[in-house]
A = this chain, B = another copy of it.
Amino acid sequence: MGETAETGSSRTRPTIYDVAKAAGVAPSTVSRAFSRPGRVNADTADRIRRVAHELGYRTSPIGRAMPDGRTALLAIVVADLTNPFFFEIIRSAEKTAIDAGYTLLVVDAHESSGAERRALERTLPLVEGVVLATSRLSDAAIRAVAKQRPTVVMNRVVADVPSVVTDNAQGMRRAVEHLAGLGHSRLTYLAGPEASWADGMRWRAFREATQELGLRARRLGPFAPTLAGGLSAAQALTTHSATATVAYNDLVAIGTMRGLTRLGIEVPRDLSVVGFDNIFGSDFCTPPLTTVASPLRHFGTFAVQRLLNQLRSPSAGPSVATSSGLSAPALLPAKLVERGSTSRRP
Contact = CB atoms under 8 A, between A and B. Distances in A.
Given A106-B81, A106-B105, A125-B59, A10 B286 contact: no
Given A10-B150, A61-B125, A106-B106, A91 B84 contact: no
A147 B82 contact: no
A108 interface: yes
A2 to B, nearest CB: 14
Interface residues of A, number: 56
A58 interface: yes
A281 interface: yes
B58 A62 contact: no
Contacts of A62: 62, 65-66, 69, 71, 125
A88 to B, nearest CB: 8
A132 interface: no
Interface string A281-295: 100111000000000
Contact of A284 (B69, B88, B91, B254): B254
A8 B58 contact: no
A9 interface: yes
A285 B254 CA distance: 10
Interface in A29-53: none
Contacts of A56: 148
Interface of A: 8-13, 56, 58-63, 65-66, 69, 71-73, 81-82, 84, 87-88, 90-91, 94, 98, 103, 105-108, 110, 118-119, 122-126, 147-150, 227, 254, 258, 280-281, 284-286, 314, 317-318
